[in-house]
Amino acid sequence: MADSPGIIMVIEDDPFLSSILKARLEKDGFTVIQAFNGEEALTKLRENSPGLVILDLIMPKMSGFEVLQVISIDPQLNKIPVVVVSNLGQDGDVEKAKGFGAVDYFIKMRMSIDELIVKIRGIIQKSGIRK
């Protein structure tokens, strides 16, 4: 399937945070697909091929690191930019995520939702993702 640049996928097991991200991005004109665990995420990624993925690392069924690893070796998925948003803040976690191809890494506890949205909007613009 061809990339769908106007689609952003939010992979986050916290329904509250996921719904806030979804509402804010939809307000900006994007279509947002949600997944609440790693297994669901991979299925939906292959079905929709979004223009950007926002990924939590601590999730049920399959961790975000495992999802990133699959994305990094899958030729259908490895061109999709992935932004990690996690409570894991150790340097080793950041390095591991970037080693699997994450384009950026944000620590939830260190920023507000508004700051996170501004950062994500910047990545969207830099990546040339269209609505």
- Average pLDDT over every residue of 84-105: 93
Q: Looking at the predicted structure, is the pLDDT value of residue 1 above 50?
A: no
What digits encode the pLDDT tens for the residues 4-50?
568 999 999 999 999 999 999 999 888 999 999 999 999 999 999 89
Neighbours of 15 (CB within 10 A): 10
Tens digits of residue pLDDT in 39-86: 999 999 999 989 999 999 999 889 999 999 999 999 989 999 999 999
Domain assignment present for residue 131? The answer is no
Q: What pTM did the predictor assign?
A: 0.89
**Residue 37 domain flag:** yes
Q: Are strands 4-11 and 31-35 parallel, antiparallel or unpaired?
A: parallel
Is 103 inside a domain boundary? yes
Residue 31 lies in a domain: yes
CATH of the domain at 16: 3.40.50.2300
Total number of domains in the chain: 1
Does 68 map to a domain? yes
Strands (E), 17-110: 31-35, 50-55, 82-86, 104-107
pLDDT score for 73: 95
- Res. 3 pLDDT band, cuts 50 70 90: low
Domain extent, residue 118, equals 4-126
